[in-house]
Amino acid sequence: MAIEIVATKRSPQAVGPYSQAVAAHGFLYVSGQLPMDPETGQMVDGKIEDQTRRAMNNMRAILEAAEVSMSDVVKTTIYLKDMEDFAAVNGAYAEYFPSNPPARACFEVARLPKDARVEIECVAALPTSS
């Protein structure tokens, strides 16, 4: 199976030597998404819920570029600067998975790129060819 790089201008460009997403072996691996505005490249201000929604919208834009949706996501990982934000992040995150949410892990980390408060990555199943 070929490996395909997926990219879209509807999500912020990579801030390092990595791809927004890579499709391989029936899955789409989406790199961690920060709460960055794709038009300005700047971190969004505001509450952690707003930042979580921005990161999730960035992730969704990449999924859509690969012609999959949030319902195809099978695993997410959330990285938090402060675990005290866990409940608020959960509330915003749940808006994107109203039923049958994917498997997930969540970690508090010492520091994130651009001093973000949240970063979210995912793996999605790609449609099978007939």
CA distance 38 to 129: 31
Q: Give the predicted TM-score (pTM) of the model.
A: 0.95
Residue 83 in any domain: the answer is yes
Per the structure, the count of domains in the chain is 1
pLDDT confidence of residue 129: 62
CA distance 23 to 39: 25
| pLDDT tens profile 40-83 | 999 999 999 999 999 999 999 999 999 999 999 999 999 999 99
Residue 86 in any domain: the answer is yes
Q: What's 101's domain CATH number?
A: 3.30.1330.40
pLDDT confidence of residue 15: 79
Q: CA 111, 105, 125: angle at the middle one, nearest 5?
A: 115
Residue 31 in any domain: the answer is yes
Please determine, for residue 130, whether its predicted confidence score (pLDDT) is greater than 60.
no
Expressed as residue numbers, the domain containing 117 is 4-125
Nearest C-alpha neighbor of 59 from the set 128, 119, 127, 126: 119
pLDDT confidence of residue 83: 98
Active site residues: 106
Q: In the predicted model, what is the mean pLDDT of residues 111-124?
A: 97
Residue 114 in any domain: the answer is yes
Residue 49 in any domain: the answer is yes
Residue 90 in any domain: the answer is yes
Q: How many CB atoms lie within 10 A of CB 116?
A: 20
Residue 106 in any domain: the answer is yes
Residue 130 in any domain: the answer is no
